[in-house]
């Protein structure tokens, strides 16, 4: 049975003061890469439905749009802070990682280059990204307050992908094979012997059954997270860290896949719900362990290439 533990703490402080060196085999997290949107006063505005840096968009075409961070409002100083933030995050994380450990960071196209720059400055190898393809509601809007005047105009393209940036702590041995033998890290786990992990994953909106568990504004689907977390431990052994664990969805994916995990969360409300969320999310789709890419039209994953429903579960 996979084990997990959660810590109510600032991850920077926890990494610097409490984590054992060379103890983490991989990281998978959706960080507050815009920085300002998850500050306490902005979270209060979000929970009160009053916006702040979060944009509370209208219902469009019958679909309710989720709150979105206003990344386009960041000024040059705030953008530079993103780069510095991830350099400092990478530096704090580095001692805890096993040589060859991989790190997945969810991102946004507008800030991806700043995150990658900061992590590279901290000493990580930039290993590209996994592109999550999905039908989202980001972008594609007409100019604000001039929608009718510029009916054939969109300010930005409609978003259809989300980059999960991949980094690696440099290996300590001469070859990846030697690093795998000594540390169990340095590569990614294939979906099967005949199928490597692709860099494009067709995903979907987080299913309603998962959104009913947590109201976190950036809840990611178990279909995606189980694929990603499974890939991070090439030999199927080790410990995965989520330093910004929010809803607990990454830890739930680790439980479902069978990996030990550690989560860190600073927000009081999110931390209070972690154990309940992890139990409920990990219990969904009991046949699915992230070894296939298929999913149903509603975003529910398909186990072993075959549709297997048990009521609302799979």
Q: Which two tokens stand for residue 214?
A: 């947590």
Give the pLDDT confidence score for residue 303 in this predicted structure.
80
Q: Which residue segments constitute the domains of the chain, with CATH numbers given?
A: 4-283 (3.40.50.150)
User: pTM here?
Assistant: 0.86
Instruction: Quote the DSSP letter at residue 32.
Output: -
Report the percentage of the chain scoring pLDDT > 90: 67
Nearest to 216 by CA among 240, 253, 169, 249: 249
How confident is the model over 81-91, as a mean pLDDT? 94
What is the residue-averaged pLDDT of the chain?
87
How far apart, in whole angstroms, are the C-alpha atoms of residue 37 and residue 53?
6
How far apart, in whole angstroms, are the C-alpha atoms of residue 158 and residue 276?
35
Give the pLDDT confidence score for residue 305 in this predicted structure.
53
The answer to whether the CB of 101 falls within 8 A of the CB of 27 is: yes
pLDDT digits (tens, 9 = 90+) for 4-32: 999 999 999 999 987 899 999 999 999 98
Ranked by mean pLDDT, which of 1-5, 176-180, 301-305 comes out on top?
Answer: 176-180
CA neighbours closer than 13 Å in the CB half-sphere of residue 117: 11
Give the pLDDT confidence score for residue 270 in this predicted structure.
95
Please report which confidence band the pLDDT of residue 293 belongs to, taking 50, 70 and 90 as the band edges: very high
Give the pLDDT confidence score for residue 72 in this predicted structure.
54
């Amino acid at each position: 049975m996979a084990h997990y533990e959660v810590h109510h703490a600032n991850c920077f402080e926890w990494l610097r003061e409490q984590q054992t060196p060379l103890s983490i085999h991989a990281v998978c997290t959706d960080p507050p890469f815009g920085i300002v949107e998850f500050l306490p006063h902005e979270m209060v505005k979000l929970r009160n439905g009053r916006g702040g840096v979060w944009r509370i968009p209208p219902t469009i075409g019958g679909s309710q749009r989720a709150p979105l961070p206003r990344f386009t409002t960041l000024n040059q100083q705030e953008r530079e802070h993103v780069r510095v933030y991830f350099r400092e995050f990478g530096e704090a994380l580095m001692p805890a990682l096993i040589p060859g450990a991989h790190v997945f960071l969810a991102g946004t196209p507008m800030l991806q280059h700043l995150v990658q720059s900061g992590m590279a400055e901290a000493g990580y190898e930039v290993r590209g990204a996994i592109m999550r393809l999905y039908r989202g509601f980001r972008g594609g809007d007409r100019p604000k307050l001039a929608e009718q005047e510029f009916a054939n105009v969109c300010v930005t393209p409609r978003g259809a992908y989300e980059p999960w940036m991949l980094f690696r702590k440099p290996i300590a041995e001469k070859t990846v094979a030697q690093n795998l033998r000594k540390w169990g890290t340095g590569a990614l786990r294939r979906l099967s012997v005949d199928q490597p992990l692709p860099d494009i994953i067709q995903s979907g909106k987080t299913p309603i059954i998962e959104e009913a568990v947590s109201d976190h504004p950036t809840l990611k689907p178990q279909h995606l997270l189980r694929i990603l977390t499974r890939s991070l431990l090439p030999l199927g052994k080790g410990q995965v860290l989520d330093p910004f664990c929010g809803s607990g969805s990454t830890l739930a994916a680790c439980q479902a896949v069978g990996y030990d995990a550690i989560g860190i969360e600073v927000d009081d409300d999110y931390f209070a719900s972690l154990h309940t969320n992890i139990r409920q999310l990990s219990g969904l789709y009991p046949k699915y362990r992230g070894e296939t890419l298929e999913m149903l039209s509603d975003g529910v994953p398909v186990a072993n290439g075959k549709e297997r429903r048990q009521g609302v579960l799979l």
